[in-house]
Amino acid sequence: MMSMQVKERLAKAVIWSAALITVCILVLIIGSIMVQGIAKLNLSFFLENPRRMGSEGGIFSPLIGTIYFTCLTMLLAAPVGIGAAVYLTEFTREGPLVRVIRFTTDALAGIPSIVIGLFGFAFFVVFLKPLTGGWSILSGSLTAFCMILPTIVRTSEEAIKAVPEAYREGSLALGASKWQTVLWVVLPSAMPGILTGVLLGVGRVIGETAPLLLTLGGSLLIPHSIFQPARTLSMHLYLVAMETGEFSVAFGTAAVLVIVILLLNLLSHTLMRRLMARIGGR
Amino acid sequence: MALQPQDKVFPLLLLLCALTSILVVILVGVFVFLQGYPMLAKTGFFAFLLGRSWQPGEGVYGILPMVVGTVVVTLLSLLIGVPLGIATAIFLAELAPDRVAAWTRRSIELLAGIPSVVYGLFGMVTIVPMVRYIASNWFGAWLSPEMKTGYGILAASLVLAIMILPTIVNISEDALRAVPREYKEGSFALGVPHWQTIVHVLLPAARSGIIAGVVLGMGRAIGETMAILMVAGNAPALPRSIFSPVRTMSGNIGLEMGYASGSHAQALFATGIVLFLVIMLLNGFALLFTGRRAVRTP
């Protein structure tokens, strides 16, 4: 029979090592991607188009595709998501409608991305083909919009709720209308938090691949409009690794993705600190 | 004060934004069901679900191998990921000094942000060779050649276990922190050591939250497509050992939707329906346990 103290120590050692393993896994993944990908990261890798299905050359066209696709998705999702959050927090009370909206937002967040991809294919690519051009950046963005809407609604809601009630009361007391209060007092105070949510959305959009396989087309040509097909960096990574087996290009692409994700993470932390400083933390 | 026109127009616009998610969920349901229903009606739901053979070329569509693949890969990944996740959550909520906890939390956040294709690539280049080595050198005598490639259940489960860690850690930590302080203080006052308090007081009190975290991690595992496609081998056959290559339901869609048409496409949509139903059931289950928001932002 072990003494109580030994048991206590042993148990704590196990817990510490579990946490250590978790952190080590992260370091191992990021480390191995960077070590194997960093050699690829030179100017010509960024500025050359892929050749031979991506097994040679650079990542210029997927890079352009990613930028187009991410910007368009966020242009669609940010206003709608923030609008929904403002409605839910400022313009309504708890009631059946709000409960239904919350429930469906949660349900949407839970639907597997591949199923959203199936929907995007059936609806945007096939059904709305005359409007979207079939497989295109627009179809891909609309599909990704459906996927990240819940993320943006929820983080914006949290940010708006964190704005102290006194701000609103002060503004209303000065004779500002409800709308003016929201636009000039509440939203600016909540902005760092809202932007954090938007950045989170950007990260997800850049990393997402499965629904894009069904909607974005995967073309290696540089897209000239949102009605043309394209591919993103994540898609490029997958297609290159699976179809050509050219791991050096895949690792170079993965390293670019990891760097982007790290930067987004850093930026969102800076914003969060600023939000805390602005509204005094909670 | 008289209401100005914008005080009426803007709330209406905002309401429309808020209604978008309802619209999207309805559209997703309707379109996926419309496309997949003819296949289910033709073969019968259970014949489709329990059919052992998937041969699109012959017009034979049964997804039992994919259902089994999904279940086995998910359970094994939970078996690996849940203990590690809960232990890390205990570390964060109870043992870690503030600074260490902050850095650990930050790493877990990063882990959640890494794209699944990057996990897949890591799996292909690091985990698959490891599994291949184990399969051929330790169990070589018992395994058939296709089980020695490294691509299969074990590799997929290891990758998935890492991917679901953040979900499990975050929700379990929240659950542990939500336990009222008095429970812990009361236990300490009785002279119960810290570890005993964690095991006998905190964990039972946080049980429902932790279960919700596990169920959501499960949802994530079932829905994951890309990373699994890259390491699971994707053979649509019933697995015979944990080294066997398998295909999951989501992998089935991701793999074949690119070139499918006609009844083949319908069968993939029907696979989507099954996946959709499973996830809805799981989320309902998680909701029962928490009584609040089922799914959290990753």
Return the DSSP state at A49.
P
**Per-domain residue ranges for chain B?**
54-290
When CB atoms are compared, the residue of B25, B35, B92 closest to A108 is B25
pLDDT score of B4: 64
Whether A241 and chain B come into contact, CB under 8 Å, resolves to yes
Q: Nearest chain A Cα to B274, which residue? A: A115
Which of the four pLDDT bands, split at 50, 70 and 90, describes residue B91?
Answer: very high
A205-239 residue pLDDT tens? 999 999 999 999 888 888 888 898 999 999 999 99
Which of the four pLDDT bands, split at 50, 70 and 90, describes residue B297?
Answer: very low
Asked whether residue A82 carries a pLDDT value surpassing 70, the answer given is yes
Q: How many CA atoms lie within 13 A of A234 on its CB side?
A: 28
pLDDT score of B76: 96
| B172: closest CA of chain A, how far (Å) | 14
> Are the Cβ atoms of B258 and A214 closer than 8 angstroms?
yes
Tell me the pLDDT of chain A averaged across its residues.
89
Q: Which residues of A touch B21 (CB under 8 A)?
A: 84, 101, 104-105, 108, 149-150, 153
Domains annotated for chain A, with CATH where assigned, are 38-279 (1.10.3720.10)
Which of the four pLDDT bands, split at 50, 70 and 90, describes residue A282?
Answer: very low
Distance CA A60, CA A58 (A): 6
- For residues A216 and A241, the answer to whether their CB atoms sit within 8 Å is no
pLDDT score of A31: 93
The residue of A111, A139, A141, A263 whose CB has the most chain B CBs within 10 angstroms, and thus the best one to mutate to test that interface, is A111
- For residues B228 and B251, the answer to whether their CB atoms sit within 8 Å is yes
Q: How many CA atoms lie within 13 A of A126 on its CB side?
A: 13
> Are the Cβ atoms of B269 and A112 closer than 8 angstroms?
no
- For residues B115 and A261, the answer to whether their CB atoms sit within 8 Å is yes
> Are the Cβ atoms of B20 and A149 closer than 8 angstroms?
yes
- φ/ψ of residue A51, rounded to 5: -125, 160
Stretch A51-63: mean pLDDT, rounded? 82
Q: Nearest chain B Cα to A91, which residue? A: B11
Whether A76 and chain B come into contact, CB under 8 Å, resolves to no
Distance CA B131, CA B149 (A): 8
Lowest mean pLDDT: which of A180-194, B29-43, B167-181, B281-295?
B281-295
> Are the Cβ atoms of A151 and B122 closer than 8 angstroms?
no
Asked whether residue B249 carries a pLDDT value surpassing 60, the answer given is yes
pLDDT score of B203: 92
Task: Decide: helix, strand or coil at residue B61.
Answer: strand
Tell me the pLDDT of chain B averaged across its residues.
89
Stretch A89-102: mean pLDDT, rounded? 86
Stretch B34-52: mean pLDDT, rounded? 90
- For residues B219 and B193, the answer to whether their CB atoms sit within 8 Å is no
Which of the four pLDDT bands, split at 50, 70 and 90, describes residue B296?
Answer: very low
From 1.10.260.40, 3.40.50.300, 1.10.3720.10, 3.40.50.970, which CATH number describes the B54-290 domain? 1.10.3720.10
> Are the Cβ atoms of A104 and B22 closer than 8 angstroms?
yes
| A44: closest CA of chain B, how far (Å) | 22
> Are the Cβ atoms of B122 and A155 closer than 8 angstroms?
no
Whether A123 and chain B come into contact, CB under 8 Å, resolves to yes
| A4: closest CA of chain B, how far (Å) | 8
> Are the Cβ atoms of A115 and B32 closer than 8 angstroms?
yes
Q: Nearest chain A Cα to B224, which residue? A: A112
Q: Which residues of A touch B19 (CB under 8 A)?
A: 101
Whether A37 and chain B come into contact, CB under 8 Å, resolves to no
Which of the four pLDDT bands, split at 50, 70 and 90, describes residue B104?
Answer: very high
> Are the Cβ atoms of A105 and B162 closer than 8 angstroms?
no
Q: Which residues of A touch B168 (CB under 8 A)?
A: none
> Are the Cβ atoms of A114 and B222 closer than 8 angstroms?
no
pLDDT score of A279: 65
Whether A254 and chain B come into contact, CB under 8 Å, resolves to yes
Distance CA B173, CA B184 (A): 15
> Are the Cβ atoms of B25 and A113 closer than 8 angstroms?
no
Question: What percent of chain A is predicted at pLDDT more than 90?
Answer: 51
- For residues A58 and B143, the answer to whether their CB atoms sit within 8 Å is no
Task: Decide: helix, strand or coil at residue B185.
Answer: helix
Which of the four pLDDT bands, split at 50, 70 and 90, describes residue A246?
Answer: confident
> Are the Cβ atoms of A7 and B298 closer than 8 angstroms?
no
Which of the four pLDDT bands, split at 50, 70 and 90, describes residue B6?
Answer: low
> Are the Cβ atoms of B253 and A247 closer than 8 angstroms?
no
Whether A114 and chain B come into contact, CB under 8 Å, resolves to yes
Task: Decide: helix, strand or coil at residue B34.
Answer: helix
Strands B54-55 and A56-57: unpaired
| A221: closest CA of chain B, how far (Å) | 18
Distance CA A128, CA A149 (A): 20
Stretch B28-46: mean pLDDT, rounded? 92
Q: Residue B12's CB: how many other CB atoms inside 10 A?
A: 10
Asked whether residue A4 carries a pLDDT value surpassing 90, the answer given is no
pLDDT score of B93: 93
Asked whether residue B41 carries a pLDDT value surpassing 60, the answer given is yes
